[in-house]
Amino acid sequence: MKIAILIDRPRWEEKRLLDAALKKGLKPILLNLNEIILDLSRIQFDDYDLVLQRCISHYHGLYASKILEDVGLKVMNKFSVSAILGNKLFLTLLLNKAGIKTPRTYIAFDREKAEEAIEKLDFRAVVKPLVGSWGRYVTPIFSKQEMKPILDLFDNIMHPPNNVYYVQELVERPPRDIRMIIAGKDIIACVYRNSKEGVWATNVAQGAITTPCELNEELKSLAEKISKTLNGGIFGIDVMESKEGYLVNDVNPTPEFKGAQACTAHDIAEKIIEYVVNG
């Protein structure tokens, strides 16, 4: 089987995936979007049986997935799945419809209404761009005094399609969250991401440290429900521990796993490749 691992920048994870595919006797290649031109009138991708989409840029991955699927290639994750998971508004709607608990969330299309939403949350809120990764521009608001300068900053960085205010409750949680990496029905890693001292965010890209997290039946059930809702795939599920129980904060369609691998016994890249081939 010939597999193209689609990238726009090679990272530690993609190199591990390439090595894992080689060990399985496959014929993988790292295909960098920044090094090719696609002629939409006659796209030639006969050299590959399957594409594993691992782009950092949401839009690079999304557009390339659509192009490749339209010429009959199997892309993982699917274009339709990446389109939903890459947009926080679409993802929240999907999770809520499936009965999966998420933080209380408001959408506003006007600055004044965004302020009203933050007031409804007693001035303890988180403002997020609809599209983004690594926790960039995700900003907590802890008081009324912080609201104006934070929204001023948010207004300056917003651009279509992010010119929508996504306002979420500031959940009372430990200084950590739970990251589960799943391939199909299997949870192949489960870790805590512990915030760096003095940092609110739990992203590894912002200095969080991973430690093992023991799976329980509730987490297993949550992962299974999300996988079933999405009809399978490879995802990173971010879960917060709150007074109301587990809340799903995000589902990432191209999860990084260097931090999780540091405290996981088995090879995450190998498990992903196994799913790609057999799933």
Res 197: pLDDT:
86
Q: What is the DSSP letter of 173?
A: -
Does this chain's domain 105-169 share its CATH topology with 173-278?
Answer: no
In whole angstroms, what is the distance from residue 253 CA to residue 72 CA? Answer: 21
Q: Which pTM does this prediction carry?
A: 0.93
Decide: residue 222, CB within 10 A, 0-12 exposed, 13-18 middle, 19+ buried: buried
| pLDDT tens-place string over residues 180-205 | 999 998 999 999 999 988 888 888 87
Which tokens in the block code for residue 261? 């691998």
What amino acid occupies position 157?
I
State mean pLDDT over 251-271. 94
- Please state, in angstroms and rounded to a whole number, the distance separating the CA atoms of residues 89 and 78: 18
5 near 278, Cβ under 8 Å? no
CATH topology for 173-278?
Answer: D-amino Acid Aminotransferase; Chain A, domain 1 (3.30.470)
Could you tell me which residues come within 8 angstroms of residue 212 by beta carbon, excluding any fewer than 6 positions away?
Answer: 190, 191, 192, 263, 264
47-51, 153-157, 247-251, range with the lowest pLDDT = 153-157
- Domain ranges within the chain, ordered by starting residue: 2-84, 105-169, 173-278
- Residue 45's pLDDT is 72
Mean residue pLDDT across the chain = 92
- Burial class, 114, CB count within 10 angstroms (exposed 0-12 / middle 13-18 / buried 19+): buried
Question: What fold characterizes domain 2-84?
Answer: Rossmann fold (3.40.50)
Q: Specify the CATH class of 105-169 in words.
A: alpha beta
Q: pLDDT tens digit string along 61-115? A: 999 999 999 989 999 999 999 999 999 999 999 999 999 999 999 999 999 999 9
- pLDDT (tens digit, 9 = 90+) per residue, 132-186? 877 777 899 999 999 999 998 888 876 555 578 999 999 999 999 999 999 998 9
- DSSP result, 87-153: SHHHHHHHHHHTT-----EEEESSHHHHHHHHHHTTT-EEEE-SS-STTTT-EEE-SHHHHHHHHHH
